[in-house]
Amino acid sequence: MSFEVPVVHTVAEMRAFVRDRRARGERVGLVPTMGALHAGHLSLIEEARRHADRVVTTIFVNPTQFGPSEDFSRYPRTLPADCEKLASVAADLVFAPAVEEMYPPGFCTTVSLEGCAKAELEDHFRPTHFVGVATVVAKLLNQAQADVAVFGEKDYQQLLVIHAMARDLDIPTRIIGSPTLRDPDGLAMSSRNVYLSPQDRARAPALFRALSEAARRIAEGEVVGHVMGEAREAIVGAGFDIDYVEARHAETLARVARRQDGPIRILAAARLGATRLIDNVAVPTA
Ligand code: PAF
């Protein structure tokens, strides 16, 4: 017998589900996504299940986090296939609102951000992105009132922005980061990998290789600036156009000059043709 995950489209239905489960003493986990689900997303659901009895997955391609020249209209929308994948991990509910449900006429409030949202990383290249992300995530957290919410470490700056936003706005849901899932050759799983041509897909793992090599060398005590310069050369040599490849403090995203300034995270965004890949790795600590 095949299992189907119930899908609801309104805030009221989703909130009623969570309220009902919590009233029975169950813990509820929320996994916000934009759909086009892959194994990386399913690992977020599994992580949520480690902390909760029920898992609600949201699928909403949030228009406000895309810039005018970005891929909002062509972003993959695959709700039926997503629901099948969610059934395979026995997710409990899918919340798939329409744009009008999330942004009804008269909507006029956004979250204003400083700190790690202004680190000159993603924010420099996508200036309106994090306001869109933080606003929609604040809405989803308030709508669901779940016990925990899980986000991937792949979008590392986003994870820090969401942590800070939930802390600063006293949102009681606990925010949990979950490690990046990778293809066997190291490429971080992403819904946008479908945009890669076969040639670019073959080149793409060079990004993770360069970041991993840089992390290893910094951990061994080599000078951060020198190592990062060579990492950038390797990435350009593999055919990428770099937006940024930076070693930063893992909690504040402040610039770091020496291993002792850490914990350090190396973060990158680089383009292969029209496809922009982002990735990050931790510098191992002794
Ligand atoms: O990481 C994502 O998929 C999105 O930015 C999120 C957190 C679901 C908000 O739209």
Q: What does the pLDDT look like over 99-117, one tens digit per residue?
A: 999 999 999 999 999 999 9
Ligand 1, atom 1, residue with closest C-alpha: 33
Atom number of ligand 1 nearest to Cα 140: 9
Active site members: 41
Separation between Cα atoms, residue 202 and residue 213, nearest integer Å? 19
Contact 188, 180 (CB under 8 A): yes
Q: What is the enclosing helix (H) or strand (E) of 171?
A: none
Confirm whether 7-178 and 191-282 share one CATH topology: no
Q: Is the distance from the beta carbon of residue 262 to the nearest atom of ligand 1 less than 6 Å?
A: no
Give the Å distance between the CA of 259 and the centre of ligand 1. 31
How far apart, in Å, are the Cα atoms of 104 and each of 9, 98, 146, 155?
A: 14, 10, 23, 28
Q: Is the distance from the beta carbon of residue 133 to the nearest atom of ligand 1 less than 6 Å?
A: yes
Ligand 1, atom 8, residue with closest C-alpha: 33
DSSP state of 267: E
pLDDT at residue 2, as a whole number: 63
What does R_g of the chain's alpha carbons equal in angstroms? 19
pLDDT at residue 50, as a whole number: 97
Average pLDDT over residues 148-157: 98
pLDDT at residue 111, as a whole number: 97
pLDDT at residue 62, as a whole number: 98
Confidence band, pLDDT 50/70/90 cuts, at residue 275 = very high
28 closest CA partner among 175, 148, 171: 148
Confidence band, pLDDT 50/70/90 cuts, at residue 3 = confident
Confidence band, pLDDT 50/70/90 cuts, at residue 262 = confident
Confidence band, pLDDT 50/70/90 cuts, at residue 143 = very high
Separation between Cα atoms, residue 103 and residue 67, nearest integer Å? 17
pLDDT at residue 51, as a whole number: 98
Contact 221, 286 (CB under 8 A): no
* Peptide bond preceding 184 in cis form (omega within 30 of 0): no
pLDDT at residue 81, as a whole number: 97
Domain ranges of the chain: 7-178, 191-282
Superfamily of domain 7-178: HUPs (3.40.50.620)
Specify the fold of 191-282: Pantoate--beta-alanine Ligase; Chain: A,domain 2 (3.30.1300)
| Residues 6+ positions from 51 with CB-CB distance below 8 Å | 27, 29, 147, 148, 150, 174, 176
Atom number of ligand 1 nearest to Cα 58: 8
Is residue 1 pLDDT above 80, yes or no?
A: no
Mean pLDDT of the chain: 96
Task: Identify the three-state secondary structure at position 279.
Answer: strand
Is residue 126 pLDDT above 60, yes or no?
A: yes
Q: Tokens for 26?
A: 């169950």
Atom number of ligand 1 nearest to Cα 137: 9
Q: What is the pTM of this model?
A: 0.96
Give the Å distance between the CA of 165 and the centre of ligand 1. 14
217 closest CA partner among 203, 229, 205: 229
